Amino acid sequence: MKNQCPSCGFSNIEGVDRCEQCFHSMMLRELPAPHKDDHFQQALLTAPVSELITGKDLIVADTDDSVKKIVEVFQKKQKNCVLVYRSKKLVGIISNRDLIRKVAGLHKDLTAVKAKDVMTPNPETVRPEDPISFIVNKMAMGGFRHVPVLAPSGAPISIVNIHDVMHFLSSRQKK
């Protein structure tokens, strides 16, 4: 009896651990489904990132903007994260944590320090249609508190933080 590989379609002998053609695992044939009564698991695995998007949290800086100006915007708008773009391309992200670690106590003149000097380059991103579990995974694996949401064109849509995720999950629990 033959066992077809879900990755490449090669017909393998029944009972093999991996596909002989592409080495795809043949040990687990069905993906685990969320439990029907577990609202957290259902939300994480099935709800799209777009359900977390408000559009109210999005601020964007240029690589040459001064840290002084970024701090002023953070204080005025009560924000703690900014995306850094150059020529309409995401190149970095700056959070309060970046400012504390890379600026506080190290620089007296914040007008001389530029966004490109303190940003975390090439941040992990998600798309609006990705499941919320993608954001949670990126936050957990990378130690991030903020994950940018980008359109297919690369244009910024939103920044999702851990509080957004927790608020969403807690609202689902009440249902």
What confidence tens digit (pLDDT) does each residue in 102-142 have?
A: 887 787 788 889 999 999 999 999 999 999 999 999 999 99
Q: What is the pLDDT of residue 42?
A: 77
Give the pLDDT confidence of 46-104 residue by residue, as tens digits. Answer: 889 999 887 777 899 999 999 999 999 999 988 889 999 998 899 999 999 999 888 87
CATH class of the domain at 46-173:
alpha beta
Strand (E) or helix (H) holding 133: helix 132-142
Identify the pLDDT of residue 146.
Answer: 93
Per-residue exposure over 39-76, b if at least 16 CB sit within 10 Å of its own CB, e if not: beeebbeebebeebbeeebbeebebebbbeebbeebee
pLDDT at residue 65, rounded to an integer: 95
Calculate the average pLDDT of the chain.
87
Question: Buried b vs exposed e over 81-110: b needs ≥16 C-beta within 10 Å?
Answer: bbbbbeeeebbbbbbeebbeebbeeeeeee
C-alpha distances out from residue 13 to 6, 69, 134, 146, Å: 14, 64, 34, 46
> How confident is the model over 14-50, as pLDDT tens digits?
888 888 988 888 886 565 666 677 777 777 788 899 9
What value, to the nearest 5°, has the Cα angle with vertex 167 and ends 82 and 170? 160
pLDDT for 29 equals 57
